[in-house]
Amino acid sequence: MADKHVSERLIALLSGRGEDLGAEWAEKVTGSLGGRVARAEVERELREIYAALVAALSDGSVDGYDEAFGEVRALLTELSRNRALQGFTPTETAVSVFALKQVLEPSLVGEDSDADAYLRFAALLDTLGLFTIEVYSRTREELIAAQAEQLLELSTPVVKLWEGVIGVPLVGTLDSARTMVVMEKMLQALIDTGSEQAIIDITGVPTVDTEVAQHLLKTVVAARLMGAECTISGIRPQIAQTIVALGIDFGDIVTKSTLADALRHALRRSGTTVSRTAPQAGAR
Amino acid sequence: MTERVPILRIRQVLLVSIQTDLDDQDVLLLQDDLAQAVVDSGAHGVVIDITAVEIVDSFVGRMLATIASLSRLLDAQTVLVGMRPAVAITLVELGLSLGGVRTALTLDKGLRMLEDDRVERGSEGTAPDAVAHA
Amino acid sequence: MTGPSRTSEVLEITTTAGVVQARQQVRVLAQQCRLSLVDQTKLITAASELARNTLVHGGGGTMTALLVEERARRGVRLSFADHGPGIADVDLALTDGWTSGTGMGLGLSGSKRLVDDFVLDTTPGEGTTVTITKWGR
């Protein structure tokens, strides 16, 4: 078995310089990370990977996706995830693997050079390097998805404006997903606060497309089914134009130009009267 | 496994609270029972509480709309109370807006709605009521 | 990693009680799949409409329910099959408000809006199969 032979020679190559090689490897990696990870930490990580690598090679395999490399991949996954979460670049992550190649290079010079083994080993390290980058990007994607979700939560507050009146101030671009989140949150808030009036204020929304307008309409109808009334306020002229141009019928849904007008309307409907007290200071 | 939904009478209001997952026959039975009860009791209002209901499909939706129309013919107002947000969203998506059915957030608000109605109607001055109040 | 991942359950729908059972079975699956409350409600409502169609228009039939996994997303897939008269004009049957008799004519068109995937397979005289899928978000 050729693989068996190659891996034996690789083990010889790796263990030949033992500690020496490990230290050099750690040195290179620490340097490229600009001291943002402690040397001791890097050494610990690499020593584990090194040990797992030698163990895998003694199983006679040089294929990075082989079962024998399960432990190596697990360690690299952990390393990549940590680097990704700490904000390192993909290069700074993969260097942990690729640096080993550079460290081994000098072994090729001289009498005991073993080009064949080195090439096989380089191919193995390439595979593992790509693996770390894959894990890295997957972790980043998860991070971005989680942040997008948090942002969605943050950007859709439902506030109590008055006893029995809640407000949903929308700011920024509305897409279908976000509008749906708002819709559900607002309807739940009606129940939680026992409010019969809701105001959806879209002053901070630059544009509205058909789908979003439809979602807003559906929200209003759903609220009615639950026994509450919605008022939409802050429709900008451009949005009004869009709504008319798209032929969307807002039917008998009450719209007001400002949040203040909408609140006055909601209060009147809920039977609350607001009156200005006589200007005492002036009428002395 | 046919089960009858109890219809309670509180003064001039009939109260129905749906607590279980009804099959279509139970739903039709409830519709008939309720129409009969409105006639027998002379109630002026019907409150249907669906706080516990997790699903309203087009069949139940049609029953609710029918009850509302029926009771209107029999001179009673129907108020549907306690619809859950998820149910409301689903009904809208399904294409049912239950036009003509009045709704309220809670049982309490629904009962008050019927009371206010009665006061309004009473103030228009129907003779028997006026005598009764005097 | 494509296609059915669990054993499917087959439910007979021959009475109105079968429609209730269908709803309950779908609820259990939807919860296992961790669908949001709104998505659960939409799926169960769609199942209720289609199960009733199977019973009323198809003269009874079956519901096959299973959890599916595809490209790292999970969903619930339901298949309603009957050997009834089938649907002659599919486009018409999917129009809002069109009804062959009982109901409000929202069964097919409405349940289509409530789910992510909707496949209608019908042959006049042989029967109808409607397969729907709701994916977790």
Q: Contact B23/C16, CB-based, under 8 Å?
A: yes
Based on the fold, state whether residues A25 and A140 are members of the same structural domain: yes
Indicate whether C87 belongs to any domain.
yes
- Could you tell me which chain A residue has the CA closest to the CA of B87? A222
- The residue out of A96, A119, A150 marking a domain boundary is A150
Do C16 and B93 count as a contact with CB atoms less than 8 A apart? no
CB contact under 8 A, A227 and B105: yes
The pLDDT averaged over each successive group of 10 residues in chain B (134 residues) is 81 92 91 92 93 93 92 92 96 87 94 87 51 42
- 8 Å CB contact of B93 and C111: no
Averaged pLDDT, C112-123: 92
pLDDT at A192: 94
Residue type, A236: R
Nearest to A228 among B80, B87, B105 (CB): B105
Residue A235 CB coordination number (10 Å): 20
Q: Tokens standing for A116?
A: 């064949």
User: Is there a domain that residue A275 lies in?
Assistant: no
Q: Domain B7-133: what homologous superfamily?
A: STAS domain (3.30.750.24)
- Please give the residue of chain B at the shortest CA–CA distance from C97: B95
Q: How far is A251 from chain B (nearest CA, A)?
A: 13
Size of interface A-B (CB pairs under 8 A): 56
For residue A190, the chain B residues in CB contact (below 8 A) are: 85, 105
| Separation CA C14–CA C55 (nearest Å) | 6
Q: Say if A277 falls within a structural domain.
A: no
Residue A199 lies in a domain: yes
**Per-residue pLDDT for A206 more than 90?**
no
d(CA A236, CA A257): 8
Task: Annotate A189-216 with b (16+ C-beta within 10 A) or e (fewer).
Answer: bbbebebbbbbbbbeebeebeeebbebb
Structural domain span for residue A142? 2-150
pLDDT grade, residue C12 (50/70/90)? very high
Cβ pair B95:C17 closer than 8 A:
no
B neighbour chains, 3+ CB pairs within 8 Å = A, C
CB contact (8 A) between residue B62 and residue C103: yes
Tokens of A188: 């739940």
Query: Which of the residues A186, A216, A226, A252 would you substitute to probe the B interface, choosing the one with the greatest number of B C-beta atoms within 10 Å?
Result: A226
Largest Cα–Cα distance in chain C? Answer: 43
A282 is a domain residue: no
Residue pLDDT, tens place only, A253-266: 899 989 999 999 99
Nearest to B23 among C17, C96, C113 (CB): C17
User: Distance (Å, rounded) from C-alpha B74 to C-alpha B61?
Assistant: 20
**Complete DSSP assignment for A122-148:** HHHHHHHHHHHHHHHHHHHHHHHHHHH
Which of A125, A150, A175 is the last residue in one of the domains?
Answer: A150
Beta carbons of B24 and C19 less than 8 Å apart? yes
State the distance between the two ends of chain A, measured CA to CA, in whole angstroms. Answer: 108
CB-CB neighbors (< 8 A) of B109 in chain A: 196, 227
A95 and A211 assigned to the same domain: no
CATH number at residue A227: 3.30.750.24
Would you call B58 and C23 a contact, using CB atoms and an 8 Å cutoff?
no
Range of the domain at C22: 9-135
Look at chain A and report how many structural domains it folds into. Answer: 2
Q: Are residues A179 and A261 in the same domain?
A: yes
Q: Find the CATH number of the domain harbouring C40.
A: 3.30.565.10
- The helix (run of H) or strand (run of E) holding residue C54 is helix C37-56
Q: Are residues A64 and A179 in the same domain?
A: no
- Among residues A119, A150, A181, the one where a domain terminates is A150
The DSSP call for residue A211 is H
ipTM value, please give it: 0.86
Query: How distant is the Cα of B132 from the closest Cα of chain C, in angstroms?
Result: 44
How far apart, in whole angstroms, are the C-alpha atoms of residue B115 and residue B10? 12
Count CA within 13 A, CB hemisphere, residue A38: 3
Over residues A148-157, the pLDDT tens digits come to: 777 776 667 8
- A272 to chain B, closest Cα gap in Å: 16
pLDDT at A14 over 80: no
Q: Where are the domains of chain B?
A: 7-133
C-beta of residue B5 within 8 angstroms of C-beta of residue B25: no
**Residue pair C97/C106 in contact by the 8 Å Cβ criterion:** yes
Q: Looking at residue C89, what is its pLDDT?
A: 77
Q: What is the mean pLDDT of chain A?
A: 83
What is the Cα–Cα distance from C78 to C47, expressed in whole angstroms?
8
Q: A122 and A184 share a domain?
A: no
Residue A125 lies in a domain: yes
Question: Would you list the DSSP string of A1-20?
Answer: -HHHHHHHHHHHHHHHHHHH
Backbone angles phi, psi at C135, to 5 degrees: -95, 145
DSSP class of C104: -
d(CA B70, CA B72): 5
The structure tokens 């032929």 sit at A247
pLDDT at B130: 42
- Shared domain for A41 and A130, answered yes or no, is yes
Whether residue A106 sits in one domain with residue A62: yes
Strands A229-233 and A197-204 come out as: parallel
Residue of C35 and C88 predicted with greater confidence: C35
Interface contact C89, partner B, CB < 8 A: no
Q: Please tell me whether residues A204 and A89 are part of one structural domain.
A: no
A246 plus A192 within the same structural domain: yes
Q: Point out the residue among C24, C49, C96 whose CB comes nearest to the CB of B57.
A: C49
What was the pLDDT predicted at C21?
Answer: 94
Same domain, A10 and A106: yes
| C125: three-class secondary structure by DSSP | coil
Touching chains, C (3+ CB pairs < 8 A): B
Answer yes or no: is pLDDT of C45 > 90. yes
- Partners of residue C106 in chain B, C-beta under 8 Å: 58, 94-96
Residues of B contacting chain C (CB within 8 angstroms): 1, 21-25, 54-59, 61-62, 84-87, 89-90, 93-96
Where residue A205 falls (left for φ over 0; alpha for ψ -120 to 50; beta otherwise) is: beta
CATH number of the domain that residue A37 is part of: 1.10.490.10
The predicted structure's pLDDT at residue C31: 94
Determine what percent of chain A is predicted with pLDDT higher than 70: 90
Q: Do C45 and B57 touch (CB under 8 A)?
A: yes
Q: How far is CA C94 from CA B58, B97, C32, in A?
A: 15, 19, 30
Number of domains in chain C: 1
Whether residue A24 sits in one domain with residue A138: yes
Q: Are residues A113 and A198 in the same domain?
A: no
Q: What is the pLDDT of residues A87-110, one digit of tens each?
A: 888 888 888 888 888 887 776 665
